[in-house]
Amino acid sequence: MPITVTMPQLSPTMEVGTLARWLVSEGDTVTSGDVLAEIETDKATMEVEAIDDGTVGRILVAEGTENVPVNQAIALILEEGEEALEEEPGSIEAVPLPSGPASGEADSEPEKAVVQDGPGKPASSGRKRAASPLARSMALKAGLSLDDVTGSGPGGRIIKRDIEKALKAGVPATSPAIASAWEEIRVTGMRRVIAERLQEAKQTIPHFYLSLDCDIDRLLEARREINAAGYRVSVNDFIIRALALALRDVPDANVQWGGDVIRRFAHVDLSVAVAVDGGLVTPVIRDAASRSLLDIATAMRDLADRARSGKLMPEEYQGGSFTLSNLGMYGIREFDAVINPPQAGILAVGAGYPRPVARDGALAVATLMSTTLSADHRVVDGATGAALLNAFRNFIESPTSLLL
């Protein structure tokens, strides 16, 4: 009897997922543990493995299909000796192939595609041809009619490679190319969650902002000495350690608004923003205040690498008590960050730049790093926020305290 491969539940709250990519084809022989497909959740890409040996008999859900419910059948595996699947009444439940995209292209689109030649100017519309938005955009820019293209995707859907093949074959253009038309890009699950959470944050959390500058000349020198000794520590690792210790010393900032209660956390579980393709992930350094600088450096490199490759487990990016967002490596001098709900604070850190300062009544130059705290005024008051920032600055400007 065929083995049914279903959409896995990758976290307790997961209800649907995107079938990002198939790594096997119908007819392929697989063994237990082989990776069959990649499933995209809101923050990571996880792998689906074969649980037994067999042959891929039928792929039921095309790659690129969004919102596949948990436990829905996505493929069937034939055991040894079983023949290719035939559609017989009562044998298996038919699961139709969605008319979604192939090869990871964007999927859903309206019944009638309307191309805009600039804002608010419909340029063309007509009979719908099944085509991905990317293929439709490519055809539009080339002045190519979809009626002259043969689709190779599921159900004859026109995809990117079909447009490329038609252009290579010299299919004549039927209309002038419209260079000003835009391309519609599918909203990923990650981008949708980011949009929803940040909109919620700005609409429901009363933000207030506090800023100060930190002199990081001594920190930079300490980092040079540590790395010269054969270790590998970044400025960001110092910042993580300093913020964790500041939150430990100012526990009233390591809190969360709970409506009828205020939650004050016993440990500093620090979320650290990491830019990835298509969005942002915040892996968590657990109990960061109790970890050494070198331990933080090692853990952060591992988490950041796996965040960028989509290999984080849900428990590794959920449940932080406070967030750090550092854009200094991108040359940003200062910025205000949006709080990551349900947290009550986020520290935005910019790059260090040489700036004039007054020291002992004389003009000098120091490398100053601008920091801005965004705090939830329902639970963090101005004085508490100021205490947190000052504690953070004290640690940054006394880097030996971060080595203890």
Q: Which pLDDT value is given to residue 145?
A: 85
Whether residue 68 is predicted with pLDDT greater than 70 in this model: the reply is: yes
Q: What is the pLDDT of residues 200-246, one digit of tens each?
A: 999 999 999 999 999 999 999 999 999 999 999 999 999 999 999 99
Q: Which pLDDT value is given to residue 73?
A: 92
CATH number, residue 46: 2.40.50.100
Whether residue 89 is predicted with pLDDT greater than 50 in this model: the reply is: no
Question: Which domain covers residue 211, as residue numbers?
Answer: 189-403
**Whether 149 and 123 share a structural domain:** yes
**Whether 69 and 209 share a structural domain:** no
Amino acid identity at 262: I
The average pLDDT across 151-170 equals: 83
**Whether 95 and 50 share a structural domain:** yes
Instruction: Give the Cα separation of 328 and 50 in Å (integer).
Output: 43
Q: Which pLDDT value is given to residue 138?
A: 82
**Whether 382 and 240 share a structural domain:** yes
**Whether 104 and 155 share a structural domain:** no
Residue 297: what are its φ and ψ, rounded to 5°? -60, -45
Exposed (0-12), middle (13-18) or buried (19+): which is 131, by Cβ within 10 Å? buried
CATH number, residue 367: 3.30.559.10
Whether residue 375 is predicted with pLDDT greater than 80 in this model: the reply is: yes
**Whether 34 and 99 share a structural domain:** yes
The average pLDDT across 374-380 equals: 98
Q: How large a percentage of the chain has pLDDT more than 90?
A: 51
Give yes or no for a contact between 303 and 283, defined as CB atoms under 8 angstroms apart.
Answer: yes
Token pair, residue 324, equals: 């750090």
**Whether 134 and 63 share a structural domain:** no
**Whether 27 and 64 share a structural domain:** yes
Task: State if pTM tops 0.85.
Answer: no
The confidence band for 177, taking pLDDT boundaries of 50, 70 and 90, is low
Active site residues: 377
Rg value, the chain, Cα: 27
Q: Is residue 334 part of a domain?
A: yes
* Overall number of domains in the chain: 3
Q: What is the pLDDT of residues 279-327, one digit of tens each?
A: 899 999 999 999 999 999 999 999 999 999 888 998 999 999 999 999 9
**Whether 258 and 366 share a structural domain:** yes
CB neighbours of 78 closer than 8 A, spacing ≥ 6?
2, 3, 54, 55, 56, 57, 84, 85
**Cα-based distances in Å from 298 to 28, 245, 301, 305:** 40, 18, 5, 11
**Whether 46 and 139 share a structural domain:** no
**Whether 54 and 23 share a structural domain:** yes
